Structure 1
């Protein structure tokens, strides 16, 4: 029989969970207008527009040709981003039309809001996933809070259409997978197929879900032989339905599904640009990064207490698997922990071994972070049990209590930094001073600070036309962020070359060194925790 405390907690679940996610939604509504426009946002939208034109020509050609902007939209054969699916971009375009967003500022702010609420949906699925694993809704809610209180991911949840949306879709797919493994029905298969197909249509890396599904369905058949026939009947339905969702949601695949998908999948091993990144104080080619690039970026941008609990949780899982592997796999919790370990370590090891092209930190691997947190929650569970069940004053109780205290202090400190650094939570570094981070690693690689730089210039220079320039390679920073200015301010801005400009603006990407005096007098800068991320120079 459940205790009275358990019953009281159960009654509190709905209002507490509703309040938590309601407050998160309110935070999104209050903050979505504060962030700048990153490098790829215009290109992502254009990719969706091209795909929408292509789909319209296939489904309703006469109606498509009556669209006023039809002739200005490139054809699919001229699209440089066919290797990116558009299952998220297409609904955003329809949303723009539905709400009547026409000016660029309205369009991109709307997209930021929609992106955040997509992330919020992923956080809710993560809450359900963690609750499903640990059978404690409070632990699930703690996991959701840790996901939100990860500074870089919180900031990027407003504007990173690729990696954060993929994270949300991937965690949703793993949740539908757990439901399928627990109770294999045709409804569960169709839900999981829809989630898997949508994830693949955001990033082709979503094919990992196929391997996880088949592999762990095989484990269920091995340890639950009574369900073997049912799984064997349902898996072909899963594969076929997933393929159908992938093709339907990605117009580029319609004419040649297999060939075009393989072409898109292989494109990630043949990255088009030989871009450089700042890593450990050196400018390195993205094609020649050391094996430790992704693990180091993960560690230096994740709150330290999360990493500590991840280590405790991973050691606990490894210990249980080592001592009695067969008995461990016979338990549902053991197989789920193995799934989370495969979700986290599999892609990370693949990137290290295959020396995959990466850039902008570890953002291409953000989708493994929920698995990282699930293993960290395993560490929280161990600490809680040690604190509650060990003898008074014993080392287990002291260790468990110490870990829980560190968790409370660490999350409070992280939340405080997120408030203090707003809207530049994407500049969060753990364990590094501002000077170290500025010297060793990339800063604002999204170029978001350009927005506040332009706003400062226009607020302090009253001339009707103001000429602003930047480095030749970072011109998009000015163009993109100018789109978020009100129309009147945007009309005053003249974007020009550095030698013709009255103001020179830099975000220090590809030029981490200080600028010489010939660039003029520095009249404005932005620092985040001691890291200089933007300078405005008044030209001589």
Structure 2
């Protein structure tokens, strides 16, 4: 009878245990359905080429084998025909994380065409974010010793619409964020559990984050400082533990060097060159092209609060963008965590009690504030929203979860008041999940242009579809205009920033054949337009009229235009 009485409790415990597994399985299934829904990302071809250039440089170290082996990359061609890495314009871009994807056709039985390859890259990109979420779940479970809190925090990360949407096509900023998150999780795992698995996670997280963007190099001294303080403050004298993290620092540097072929041969000089580039986020070639086109360099004419600004001169550019694109409830939880951490400093010092959990919380807050203040004071070049600072969201979302857990565990003597407090907090979290989740469902696949409840009122004053992600929607709707005569479509990069061509390339060949792509607007019957640095709505284009608008919450994201005059069909008199 006793075992029967405990049966419902056992079932409940079992459900709690399998919930995370069910969540991650469902998430992977959702990704398999959604991964090719988005258009955009105009740098994708360049990223593939840069990976191929790096691959050639690596494989050329085995000349006898490489000379007799033919390796072809979809879209790019043979590796042997790629330029030399050391004279390549984008040589400072790391590609270690994304490079394996270019060898997909080398797997026996796999032969993807260009469209299939580009779509496969979308799913491969997402896998980085997916792995980061798993690492984040593990970190939260270690820190809070509660699988439900850990799962709640992981859902918070997933239901950050811009991050989830961009995890399918942003193979630089989201990939960088993902490996910073992995590195952060490794540091926390090591600090709180003295686990060598945490050190392994740190080594790989650091190497791939720093390779993706050299700004990730700051993770190395950050780990050195926090590990040293952890052992000094907590009076850890075990020589084996000290040797372990010192060895991890050495291994992480060696691993970073190994996956960054550009550094081979002259690491100090080339690392300095890469760091100089990472502060500007723009190559000399890009600067020359913009100068020739009589355009301002990237970051010096960004639409922000209705004005075109140089982001380096606006200290509040980054805080404002974060404040209007992160779900409001997460921001409130983050503020609660900051208050809690601030109030914990003096008691910890007076009592001389410094737990590993507390030190890691302090570390995450210091990580976030140092990164934010550093970007502002160093006047680093930012453009296209705050995507170059997405890595700051790793400590931010951790602190938001910390704030949630702190409010839940906040002592209230009265049982009724404590129950009401926790019920209200849980209801607010569920409402946030429902509000954000339903917004994503209503607006997918335009969820990449999410503004929170505060930002929606001002969205027309900010950059929106800066990568032309809505271009695929435009193309699919234009297919409805097909009546046996090919659709004359403008590929002018001034309107969708080059993404219309890329989105067209990702369609099946039979769909591509329904279009007549043209490069001059005067020869096109239709064009798609993405709102990048265009304030307001209803953008006008001479000789064209808007026939369809893609709008969210009152602000335009993209539109389709049809020519109304001054157009002649090819061959017409």
TM-score by length of 1: 0.91
Aligned twin of 2:568: none
Q: Is the 8 A contact 2:467 2:497 kept in 1?
A: no
2:528 pairs with 1:505: yes
Residues 471 and 498 in structure 1, CA contact (< 8 A), matched pair in contact too = no
Aligned counterpart, 2:183 = 173
Q: Which residue of 2 aligns with 1:494?
A: 517
Equivalent-residue separation in structure 1 for 2:12 and 2:140 (angstroms): 17
How far apart are residue 529 of structure 1 and its match?
Answer: 2.4
> What is the rounded CA distance, in whole Å, between the counterparts of 1:141 and 1:246 in structure 2?
31
Alignment of 1:120-131 (within 5 A): 120-131=130-141
Instruction: Name the CA distance, whole Å, in 1 between partners of 2:486 and 2:236.
Output: 77
8 Å CA contact 2:467, 2:496 repeated in 1: no
Paired with 1:125 and 1:20, the residues of 2 have a C-alpha distance of 14
Equivalent residue of 1:311, what SS?
helix
The 5 A counterparts of 1:318-467 are 318-327=342-351, 330-386=354-410, 389-394=412-417, 398-432=420-454, 436-438=458-460, 440-462=461-483, 463-464=485-486, 466-467=488-489
TM alignment of 1:16-27, pairs within 5 A: 16-27=19-30
Aligned residues of 1:471 and 1:506 also touching (Cα < 8 A): no
Q: Distance in 1 between matches of 2:307 and 2:120?
A: 38
Corresponding position of 2:85: 76
Aligned to 2:322: 298
After superposition, residues 138-287 of structure 1 pair within 5 angstroms as 138-182=148-192, 184=194, 189-227=199-237, 229-272=239-282, 273=287, 274-275=297-298, 276-286=301-311
Q: Following TM superposition, by how much is the alpha carbon of 1:39 offset from its aligned partner in structure 2, in angstroms?
A: 1.9
Q: Retained in 2: the 8 A contact 1:479–1:495?
A: no
CA distance in 2, matches of 1:225, 1:342: 22
**TM-score, normalised via structure 2 length:** 0.86
2:555 to 517, 520, 531: 531
Q: What is the rounded CA distance, in whole Å, between the counterparts of 1:96 and 1:169 in structure 2? A: 26
CA distance in 2, matches of 1:44, 1:468: 24
Matching residue of 1:114:
124
Q: Is the 8 A contact 2:464 2:533 kept in 1?
A: no
> Which whole-Å CA distance do the structure 2 matches of 1:96 and 1:495 have between them?
31
Which residue number in structure 1 is paired with residue 101 of structure 2?
92
| Alignment coverage as a number of residue pairs | 533
1:208 deviates by 2.0
Tell me how far 1:231 sits from its aligned partner.
4.7
Distance 2:9 2:318 in 1: 42
- The answer to whether the 8 Å contact 1:310/1:372 transfers is yes
Q: CA contact under 8 A between 2:86 and 2:262: conserved in structure 1?
A: no
The answer on 1:30 being equivalent to 2:33 is yes
Q: Structure 2: how far apart are the matches of 1:10 and 1:423?
A: 37
Distance in 2 (CA, whole Å) between partners of 1:231 and 1:71 is 47
Structure 1 residues 451, 187: closer, same or farther in 2, change over 3 A? closer
Q: Counterpart of 1:532 in 2: which secondary structure?
A: strand
User: For the residues of structure 2 that align with 1:316 and 1:6, how far apart are their CA atoms?
Assistant: 34
Change (3 A) 1:327 1:356: farther
Alignment of 1:5-84 (within 5 A): 11-60=14-63, 62-64=65-67, 66-67=69-70, 69-70=78-79, 72-84=81-93
SS at match of 1:358: coil
Q: Secondary structure of the residue that 2:40 maps to in structure 1?
A: coil
**In structure 1, what is the Cα distance between the partners aligned to 2:268 and 2:409?**
50
CA RMSD of aligned residues (A): 2.5
- C-alpha displacement at 1:178, in angstroms? 2.5
Closer, same or farther in 2 for the Cα pair 1:201/1:13, shift >3 Å?
Answer: farther
- Give the unaligned 5+ runs of structure 1: none
Deviation at 1:152, TM superposition (A): 0.6
- Following the alignment from structure 2 to structure 1, what is the Cα–Cα distance between the partners of residues 154 and 509? 38
- 8 Å CA contact 2:527–2:560 kept in 1: the answer is yes
Contact 1:383 1:404 survives alignment (8 Å) = no
CA shift, 1:333, in A, is 1.9
Offset from partner CA, 1:88-131 (integer Å, 9 cap, x none): 12111123432634322101111111121221111010011111
What is the CA–CA distance in structure 1 between the aligned matches of 2:539 and 2:196, rounded to whole Å? 63
Unmatched 5+ residue regions in structure 2? 1-5, 73-77, 288-296, 566-573
| Deviation for aligned residue 1:398 | 4.8
Deviations 1:379-400 (A, max 9, x none): 22232224x8530454x66555
